[in-house]
Structure 1
Amino acid sequence: MTAAPAPRWETLEAPRRARDVALVRARLPELVPWARTVEDDWLDPAERARRDGYRRPEDREAFLARRCLLRAVLAERLGTEPAAVPLGPAPGAAGRRGKPAVPGLHFSLSSAGGQVLLATAARELGLDVERVPDSTGAEQMSRILHPAERRRLAWTLRSRRPAVVARVWARKESLLKALGTGLSRDPSLDRVGTGRFPARPLPGWRVLDLDLGPDGRELRAALTVQELRPSACSTM
C-alpha cells in the first residue's frame, strides 16, 4: 500500500513551568487513513498483537493512529526512522504495569474527543485529556476522588460539576501516568484540587493545566512533570 501523506500535527505551547516539554496535538480522523498505510512497516509484533486484541474496529483504529503518531514524533526527536524507535517497557515497576519508554526520552500520550495529545521531554511526565462527561458520568467519576475534592464538588453548582470533574480527573490521571502506576494507585489518595489552580499532591511533582483553545471547549487536559533540581534548572 502506498503511504498516504503524513497529517500535520499542531505544536502546543507548554505551560511556563514546563517549557522543556514538547507538546503536539493531532486529530484522530486525520491520523487513521495515514496510519493504515504505514502500520505494516512500523509496528512490531507486540504492537500488532495489541492492535488485534481490541474487539471493536474503532478501538483498533484509535490504537493504530496513536501508536503511529507516537513513532513518527519520537523518530523526529531521536533522529531515526519510525520503525527503528526502540519502544519497550519502562524500567522497574512502571514497565511491569505497562508504561512504555525509549532510552533518554520520556513521553506520554492521551486521546479524547477525537484529539490526540503527545508530550515528550528529558524528564518524567504524564499527560491526560478528558472529555467533559454528562451529569451521570460525572457523578460516577466523583465517587472515587479524594475526600476533599468530593466535599468541594458538593458545593459546586450542578451545572458546573461535569466540567470540574473532567478537570480533576485529567489532573489525577496525568499524575498517575507520571508516577507509572496508572489506576493501580487508588485515585482517592492524591488531592489534585478542584479549583482554578492545581494542588501540589506529592513532593517532587507539579501538576499543570493545559489550554486547548477553542477546539477543546468540551475537553480538559493536564500535564504532570517531575520537578527539576536547581542545578538542572540553571543549565537550561
Structure 2
Amino acid sequence: MFLEIKALNFSYTEENILKRINLNVQKGELITLIGPNGSGKSTLLKCINNYLQINQGKIKIKNKEISEYTQRELAQIIAYVPQAAEDISKLNVFETVLMGRKPHSSWKASREDKKITAKVIGEMGLESIAFKNLNELSGGQRQKVFIARAAAQKAELILLDEPTNNLDLKHQLEIFNLIRKEVKNGKTAIVTMHDLSLVSRFSDRIIMLKNGKVFSDGNQNSLSAAKINSVYGVEVSLKEHNGKKIIIPEKVV
C-alpha cells in the first residue's frame, strides 16, 4: 500500500473537522476529494502533507508514518499545490519551477537541477513564457507553472487543492490533462474539486466527504444522484456522454 490512513481525527478546536477517516491509496491512482465547503477536503490534504498535525490515527506512506520522515525526506515524496499559491510574483517561470528541486539540492541549484527544470518546462509547454514574471501571467498559466514546479520536484505523490478554481473551461481541461499526464508517468495524485462533471471524467476514484467523514468511495459509477443530494442538498440529473457522467444541477432541496 502506497498511502494508508487509519482512524484519522483532526480538530482546530474541540470539535473534530475530520472524523475517523480511513483511506487506502494505491500507487498510480488519481483520486478526487469532493464535498461541500467545510467538509474537510483541504484539511485532509494538509494532514497528508504533515502541514497539520493530526490528533488521532495514523498516516503512512510506503509503510512508514509521516511523522518519522524528516521535512526534506517528505518533500522528496510529496509535492503540494495549495489553493492559494504563495506570493512569489517577483520570480519568473524558470525560477519558480526550479524551486521544485530544493528537496534534492543543496543551497545552490546544480546543473542537473536546471536541466530537469528546463525539461519539465518543455514537457508542460511553457517554453514561450519561461522568463516571464508570474505577475505577467494569467491565472491558468500560473497554475500550470505551479504544477510544473510539483513535477520538477519528482515527488511520488502530488496533492492539489482546487487546481481549477476560477479558471476558464480551456484552462480547466489543460490543468486536468497535465495532472493525468503526471499520473500516467507513474505519479499518484489526490485532488480536491467542485466541478462534478470534470471529476467524473478524469478521476480513477471519487471520495465524497460529508461533515468530516468519508460518505462514499468508488469509481465514477458510484456518483449517484441520491448521494449528491445527500451530501450537497441539491437535486441533480445525471446524463451520460461517451461513457462519462454529466451532472446537471436542478434545484436546492
RCO (CA 8 Å, sep 6+): is it higher in 1 or 2? 2
Calculate the TM-score normalised by the size of structure 1. Answer: 0.33
More strand per residue: 1 or 2?
A: 2
